[in-house]
Chain A
Amino acid sequence: MTGAAPLQLQWAAFNRDNIARVALWLLVLLVAAALAAPLLSPQNPYDLAQLDIMDARQAPGTVAGAGYKLWLGSDDQGRDMLSAILHGLRISLAVAGIATVIAMGIGLVAGLTAARAGGWIDLALMRLADLQLSFPSILVALILLALTGQGLDRIIVALVVVQWAYYARTVRAAAITELKREYIEAAVCAGVRPLRLLWRHLLPNIMPPLMVVGTVQMAQAVALEATLSFLGLGLPITEPSLGLLIANGYTHLLSGKYWISFFPGLALLALIVTLNLVGDRLRDVFDPRSR
């Protein structure tokens, strides 16, 4: 299961599904748009000096006071929705991405430690993970944010706390299966150093299930951040994420000014759906039983 050839095979298998392929390209496009947000946006929505409330709540297609066209309209601060969505995408992805990477890292270390050490360390770590998993993510995040206050760092911490246990369990399960394999035993007997063993043999086999959980969890993180923003416990208002943009437009939903929350909603939907579709396909590809 190691080496380049299976990866190529898996890529080919992934590609066989048209929907998944489109989803992957769309996802790549979204990430690229987020990365290039400052270049693509006609306005820097975080620079208060560039905003003008005289441009507030303009319909899509209106020309702003500064001369550029508001392709997707503007919000109640005169933010160009297109710029705000691109930057919001960036924030949502960054928050979810950073949280996912950290949670994955913690999960990896905890899972491997549990699998390798066994005994009471294993028991304690898994009990902790169970405890974490037995509380709904929204409640844990809500409490944490209510306690620590708002901010980018706080919300990342909350997402990490909510998610690390998923990875820890996944890694532990995969690692235990792998550790029992003959080639590992053989390598241990041959005196391969543990780190090398981990790097060359364990990780490549743990990565696939981790990736599957990762994509799905990242989608969950984006959605959770949106909900927390709606409850007023999310990110700072002057640097809105997608979720916060939707929450801001929420009050305008009945008034016909649909664009304030519809377009960010569309972007959020695209992000979460593509992440889920890619995750699903990865699972199908990696898990031979459901192929």
Chain B
Amino acid sequence: MLTYALRRLLWSAATLWLMSLLVFAGVHAIGDPVALLISPQADQAEIARATALLGLDQPLWRQYLLFFSGALSGDLGLSFVASVPAIHLILERLPATLELALVAMLIAVGLGIPLGLYAGLRPRSWPARAVMALSTLGFALPTFWVGLMLILVFAVQLGLLPSTGRGATVEIGGIGWSLFTVDGLRHLLLPALTLALFKLGLLIRLTRAGTREALGLDYTRFARAKGLAETAVLRRHVLPNILIPVVTVAALEFGSLIAFAIVTETVFAWPGMGKLLIESINLLDRPVIVAYLLVTITLFIAINLLADLLHALLDPRLRPGGTI
């Protein structure tokens, strides 16, 4: 088990390094940050000075070496536009994105599992079909469109919820969270719902499929035939069967929520990492783009690693040597 864990860890480190190389080379292939950021009054000498200042006159491999040696000690460079360490900018925005993704996941799980269960138990009923239609809509509607519609209805027309931005925060562990204030929750609701819609559709489908599969199993049929009450069948046979895959998928999908938050944050002016990424791409703030990608990649690798290790722990067949 330990060797397995170590091997996975090594594999993750190699992935991260490879990604850093790709990302660095890629990001440095686009545009000309100096041309974009320089004051319009600047002359050629000023442009050359700024280029040298950012080290952009150096060959790419030297820039990468500089970056890499810094990265080893946790320094991903200074933001071009804020003169603040890029990693600092990202971490500063991380809580906002995390709480958005967390609430979205809670909405998706909290609504998706019951609705999916219902659709699985009564597949031919009209409400179940409506639920399935909803799940398809969740897949089909573009996030940006849904977001603006929600703003239009709930903020502009009804005036029930705030349209954009993040609400009041409270400090917990030195980090500001808006999750624990009423104002914060009011601001969170619409963007979280927008972000949750896709995953809601996914979870409804997963749960429904799992439920139907479980209902088709012999022992469940037997239990039902025996006259076991519906709720008991649900509790003893269906739920245990679907919960593990559903929870696993939910955990894995958390990473993708963070990525998809890019769009939601842009629409709702949510001061998270995703909005920062879009701003940084617009301003060609290369260190921040690289830092964002490396932080999210690390996050995904960590999530996957954790899920894998957990699986291996639960299911010895998954360890190397066994088949997947």
A254 with B152: CB separation less than 8 A: yes
CA distance in complex: A273, B263 (Å)? 21
CA distance in complex: A253, B258 (Å)? 27
Q: Which of chain B's residues has its CB closest to A283's CB?
A: B209
Q: If the complex has contacts A126-B324, A136-B259, are A223 and B212 also in contact, measured as CB distance less than 8 A?
A: no
* A-B residue pairs in contact (CB < 8 Å), sample of 28: A19-B129, A131-B15, A134-B255, A135-B255, A136-B258, A136-B259, A136-B300, A146-B26, A146-B27, A147-B26, A219-B139, A227-B142, A230-B144, A230-B263, A231-B263, A243-B142, A246-B142, A250-B144, A254-B148, A254-B152, A261-B145, A269-B137, A269-B141, A272-B136, A276-B136, A276-B140, A280-B132, A290-B216
Binding site for A on B (CB under 8 A): 11, 15, 23, 26-27, 29-30, 129, 132, 136-137, 139-145, 148-149, 152, 156, 209, 212-213, 216, 255-256, 258-260, 262-263, 266, 278, 281, 293, 296-297, 300-301, 304, 324
Q: At the interface, yes or no: A27 with Cβ under 8 Å from chain B?
A: no
B259 with A226: CB separation less than 8 A: no
Return A237 CB to nearest CB of chain B, in Å. Answer: 17
Q: At the interface, yes or no: A193 with Cβ under 8 Å from chain B?
A: no
Q: At the interface, yes or no: A142 with Cβ under 8 Å from chain B?
A: yes
CA distance in complex: A250, B144 (Å)? 9
Interface readout for A105-138 with B: 1 if CB under 8 Å, 0 if not?
A: 0000000000000000000001100110011111
Return A151 CB to nearest CB of chain B, in Å. Answer: 14
For B132, B142, B293, the residue with the greatest tally of chain A CB atoms inside 10 Å of its CB is B142
Q: If the complex has contacts A134-B301, A230-B263, A277-B136, are A290 and B209 also in contact, measured as CB distance less than 8 A?
A: yes
Return A260 CB to nearest CB of chain B, in Å. Answer: 12
Complex contacts, A127 vs chain B, CB 8 Å: 11
Partner of B144, one of A135, A143, A227, A268: A227
CA distance in complex: A130, B304 (Å)? 10
Complex contacts, B296 vs chain A, CB 8 Å: 139
B145 with A265: CB separation less than 8 A: yes
CA distance in complex: A254, B144 (Å)? 14
Return A19 CB to nearest CB of chain B, in Å. Answer: 8
CA distance in complex: A136, B262 (Å)? 12
Q: Which of chain A's residues has its CB closest to B292's CB?
A: A139
Q: At the interface, yes or no: A181 with Cβ under 8 Å from chain B?
A: no
Complex contacts, A247 vs chain B, CB 8 Å: 144
